[in-house]
Amino acid sequence: MILINSADIVSADISKNILLVIDAKNERITMLKYFYLISLLFCFFSCGNHVKKEFSEGLLCRCIVFPTGTLCDTYQINVYEDGTICTFFGLRSEDFDSLARCGKVMKEHVFEKVETKKTSKLQYGSIEQLNKYLSAINENRCFHSNALNWKDSWCVVIETGTSVSLHNIGDFDNNNIEFIYEMLKKNSPIIVDVHGWS
């Protein structure tokens, strides 16, 4: 006959309970790790898709109006194939001007900080007219970085899927570019204030 000491039984029960508690803790930690990983992946993909959609999906053209003497007071007007016109206003990033001089203007976003964003719709006739002028500038790419006044002036960049046009405002040598700029400025949901400084 084998005698079992009650202290041994209590000790074994305590050890078993401790192991169960440790296993439960480890399981909770593992579940939390999976939860955080899934949350991070969800945020990464949903934020990435939002930026991608905002700046590429259905984008017809983009017009950036900016003063050369300062990074603030920059406007970006996006026009989408469905007639949506979206204007951003704020502080542009520091590398924008050097990219603009090389004709490599468009990254996903030109802003360091967006202060205002508004959206509206263009009339159908306006979209048709805009498409006509955009087709014309795609055939005749205008890029005049060397001739630009980079001190205390306003510039406009118009980008389509195939071309980038850069001009000082008031020195357009292409009527199509001037028309597109004036049309987008007029239809912008945020008033584009091209002002002087004193």
Q: Do residues 60 and 81 touch, judged by C-beta distance below 8 A?
A: yes
Query: What confidence category does residue 11 fall into, taking pLDDT thresholds of 50, 70 and 90?
Result: low
Q: Is the Cβ–Cβ distance between 167 and 137 less than 8 Å?
A: no
Average pLDDT over residues 161-177: 81
Locate the DSSP E strands across 59-131: 59-67, 74-80, 84-92, 111-121
Q: Of residues 129 and 103, which shows the higher confidence score?
A: 129
Long-range CB contacts (within 8 A, 24+) of 91-97: 91/115, 92/64, 92/66, 96/66, 96/71, 97/68, 97/150
What's this model's pTM, rounded to 2 decimal places?
A: 0.67
Across the beta sheet with 74-80, the strand order is: 111-121, 84-92, 74-80, 59-67, 154-159, 164-168
Per domain, the residue ranges of the chain are 7-55, 58-187
CA–CA separation, 63 vs 40, rounded Å?
Answer: 34
Residue 174 has pLDDT above 60, yes or no: yes
Percent of the chain with pLDDT strictly greater than 90: 30
Encode pLDDT of 19-47 as tens digits. 666 676 777 777 666 665 565 555 444 44
- Mean pLDDT is lowest, of 27-31, 127-131, 178-182, for 27-31
57-81 average pLDDT score? 91
Q: Per-residue pLDDT averaged across 67-80, rounded?
A: 92
Backbone angles phi, psi at 71, to 5 degrees: -85, -15
Q: Which CATH number fits domain 58-187: 2.60.40, 3.30.70, 1.20.1630, 3.30.1560?
A: 3.30.1560
